[in-house]
Amino acid sequence: GQNIDQPTEMTATEGAIVQINCTYQTSGFNGLFWYQQHAGEAPTFLSYNVLDGLEEKGRFSSFLSRSKGYSYLLLKELQMKDSASYLCAVMDSNYQLIWGAGTKLIIKP
Amino acid sequence: DVKVTQSSRYLVKRTGEKVFLECVQDMDHENMFWYRQDPGLGLRLIYFSYDVKMKEKGDIPEGYSVSREKKERFSLILESASTNQTSMYLCASSLGFQGTPAETQYFGPGTRLLVL
């Protein structure tokens, strides 16, 4: 079956760095997405990786290793507004998105 | 900016009622999707559509139907609501070129449905 695994919850301190991991087993691979979802709101797009390596976008970076079925989202200089759930999703060979359950990130002052 | 709107933020319905959830996108996207989101689970795809009047079943279509009469509008219908359909319903759209970042999905604000 198809599976996306990510930690259920993580806690970090304001100003620090946090890495949210995502491992996947899917039927084919056509890219990996990270979304941010604040409580009670819609998911919003953060990043897309289809080739191995690191993609940097401001305070957020996303890394992909296709051979390991692994990705991480790196958040630097954490701010209180970064408290949210972070969703990992993989596009399979049928171009369908397979979603992880999300990682709830709690930022403490 | 892509804008996806949903007809209601909150709905309360009774068991057995027919429920309509409307979704409209204003960016001429080809693809539209309906998901439900429940605590501890990933987004689960109910139905999707790649074109007007076209629909495809997702992972959990039972108890639901959809309608796409116009490109910008995708409706989700609960034929006879049941308590296990209490959930957050999210509509999304994407541009529609397979295998590119254009597959990025843009979400509406969601409808939180409570079935009593």
Q: pLDDT tens, A39-86? A: 988 999 999 999 999 999 999 999 999 999 999 999 999 999 999 999
Q: DSSP class of residue B14?
A: -
- pLDDT value, residue A94: 81
CA distances from B76 to A81, B19, B53, B56 (A): 32, 8, 13, 13
- pLDDT value, residue A40: 87
A57 vs chain B: nearest CA distance in angstroms? Answer: 15
From the list A4, A30, A102, which residue is nearest B99 (CB)? Answer: A30
Whole-angstrom Cα distance, residue B71 to residue B52?
5
The string of pLDDT tens digits covering residues A21-44 is 999 999 899 899 999 999 988 999
Q: What is the DSSP string of chain A?
A: --EEE--SEEEEETTS-EEEEEEEE-SS-S-EEEEEE-TTS--EEEEEE-SSEEEEETTEEEEEETTTTEEEEEE-S--GGG-EEEEEEEE-TTS-EEE---EEEEEE-
Q: Which residues of B touch A36 (CB under 8 A)?
A: none
What is the separation, in whole angstroms, between the first and last Cα of chain A? 40
Q: Which residues of A touch B42 (CB under 8 A)?
A: 4, 87, 89, 98-102
Contact B2, A45 (CB under 8 A): no
Contact A91 B107 (CB under 8 A): no
Tally C-beta pairs within 8 A across A and B. 51
Whole-angstrom Cα distance, residue B103 to residue A94?
12
Whole-angstrom Cα distance, residue A55 to residue B48?
29
- pLDDT value, residue B2: 65
Q: How confident is the model at residue A95 (pLDDT cuts 50, 70, 90)?
A: confident
- pLDDT value, residue A15: 97
Residue A1 has pLDDT above 90, yes or no: no
Give the HSE-up count for residue B83: Cα atoms under 13 Å, Cβ half-sphere: 1
Contact B98 A45 (CB under 8 A): no
Whole-angstrom Cα distance, residue B17 to residue B110?
20
Q: What average pLDDT does this structure show over B62-67?
A: 96
Q: Taking an 8 Å Cβ-Cβ cutoff, which residues of chain A contact chain B?
A: 4, 8, 30-31, 33, 40-45, 48, 87, 89, 91, 95-102
Amino acid identity at B87: S
Residue B35 has pLDDT above 80, yes or no: yes
Contact B105 A45 (CB under 8 A): yes
- pLDDT value, residue B97: 61
Residue B27 has pLDDT above 90, yes or no: no
Reference B103, options A30, A27, A44, A52; nearest CA is A30
Taking phi over 0 as left and psi of -120 to 50 as alpha, with beta for the rest, A2 belongs to: beta
Contact B40 A101 (CB under 8 A): yes
Mutate which: A22, A36, A95, A103, vs B, most B CBs within 10 A: A95
- pLDDT value, residue B101: 53
The secondary element (H helix, E strand) that includes residue B19 is strand B19-25
